[in-house]
């Protein structure tokens, strides 16, 4: 098989993306557009800045085990290392890219005033972090594996354990958002949001895989999640349903 050159054009595969209107995912009924979409050009200021750098990242921003914990204490739950690489359509690393995550705690509750779930709040877990990719496009977070939680979509619908991921380019307008799931979770196949994705292969690209080689003995389990920004088989980004 001939490896594509960096200049090759990658046709958009619209079957890869879920429809905006998916009745089984109830909030899509009211949020989906009813009229043809309009394409708005970005202004120069929107696509040229700001550029994020090391000065925007504090020491420990990517360590959710400690960045909200009181001195000498730790959050409750399964300790995990989440790592991977940000790549372009030709598997080349994308360096110096801001990656942010946010998530529920081990009981399935977010630290948010509007989260009314009865799961306990953890005083030592804030649930958000950020980091910059290195020269090889690599990123890593230490965190807690989030818990599943119920949501008011159906009588007994539960969100699988998941972590929200945001990737910035060189400007606020260049932002992609998705969420990752965890290998082996039986709730993935039952999730109405996941089931809006028509291609099973696209679902598989949203699942972080157990990485036993990076697991830290007697400390934490590792999961790997690579993010592909463009191309026919890019990672699905929920804020860019129309494609890349």
Active-site residue identified among 25, 149, 181, 223:
149
Q: Among the options 17, 109, 130, 162, which is catalytic?
A: 162
At 13, the pLDDT band (50, 70, 90 cuts) reads confident
Can you give the pLDDT at residue 235? 75
Whole-number Cα distances in Å, 229 to 100, 138, 196: 15, 14, 21
User: Active-site residue among 159, 170, 224, 230?
Assistant: 159
Q: Is 190 a catalytic residue?
A: no
What is the bridge-based pairing of β-strands 162-168 and 138-144? unpaired
Q: Find out whether 240 and 230 touch, Cβ atoms under 8 Å.
A: no
Dist CA 224 CA 214 (whole Å): 9
> CA-based Rg of the chain, rounded to a whole angstrom?
19
Is 232 noted as a catalytic residue in this protein? no
Separation of alpha carbons 132 and 99, rounded Å: 6
* SS3 assignment, position 143: strand
Q: Read off the pLDDT of residues 123-147 as tens digits, 9 standing for 90 and up.
A: 999 999 999 999 999 999 999 999 9
Task: Assess whether 34 carries a catalytic annotation.
Answer: no
Lowest model confidence (mean pLDDT) among 6-10, 165-169, 171-175, 212-216: 6-10
- Set out the domains of the chain in order of their start, with CATH numbers: 54-228 (2.60.130.10)
Q: Please, what is the Cα angle at 112 between 106 and 113, to 5 degrees?
A: 130
Instruction: Based on the residue annotation, tell me whether 109 is a catalytic residue of this protein.
Output: no
Q: What is the DSSP letter of 54?
A: G
Cβ atoms < 10 Å from Cβ of 96: 15
Q: Residues 149, 117: contact at Cβ < 8 Å?
A: yes
Could you tell me the end-to-end alpha-carbon distance of the chain, in angstroms, rounded to an integer?
25
Per-residue confidence (pLDDT) for residue 48, from 0 to 100: 66
Among the listed residues 17, 83, 110, 139, the single catalytic one is: 110
149 belongs to the catalytic site: yes
pLDDT digits (tens, 9 = 90+) for 45-100: 776 666 676 677 898 999 999 999 999 999 999 999 999 999 988 889 999 999 99
């Amino acid at each position: 098989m001939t490896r594509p050159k960096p200049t090759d054009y990658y046709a958009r595969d619209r079957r890869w993306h879920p429809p905006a209107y998916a009745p089984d995912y109830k909030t899509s009924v009211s949020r989906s557009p009813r009229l043809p979409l309009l394409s708005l050009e970005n202004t120069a200021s929107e696509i040229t800045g700001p550029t994020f750098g090391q000065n925007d990242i504090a020491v420990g921003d990517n360590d959710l085990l400690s960045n909200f914990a009181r001195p000498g204490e730790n959050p409750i739950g399964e300790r995990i290392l989440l790592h991977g690489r940000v790549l372009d359509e030709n598997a080349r690393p994308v360096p110096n890219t801001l990656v942010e995550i946010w998530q529920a705690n081990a009981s399935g509750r977010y630290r948010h005033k509007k989260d009314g779930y009865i799961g306990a709040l953890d005083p030592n877990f804030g649930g958000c972090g950020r980091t910059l990719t290195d020269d090889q496009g690599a990123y890593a977070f230490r965190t807690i594996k989030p818990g599943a939680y119920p949501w008011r979509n159906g009588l007994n619908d539960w969100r699988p354990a998941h972590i929200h991921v945001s990737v910035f380019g060189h400007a606020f307008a260049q932002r992609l958002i998705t969420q990752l799931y965890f290998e082996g979770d039986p709730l993935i196949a039952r999730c109405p949001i996941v089931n809006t994705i028509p291609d099973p292969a696209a679902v598989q690209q949203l699942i972080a895989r157990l990485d036993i080689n990076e697991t830290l003995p007697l400390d934490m389990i590792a999961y790997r999640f690579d993010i592909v920004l463009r191309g026919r088989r890019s990672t699905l980004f929920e804020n860019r349903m129309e494609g890349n």
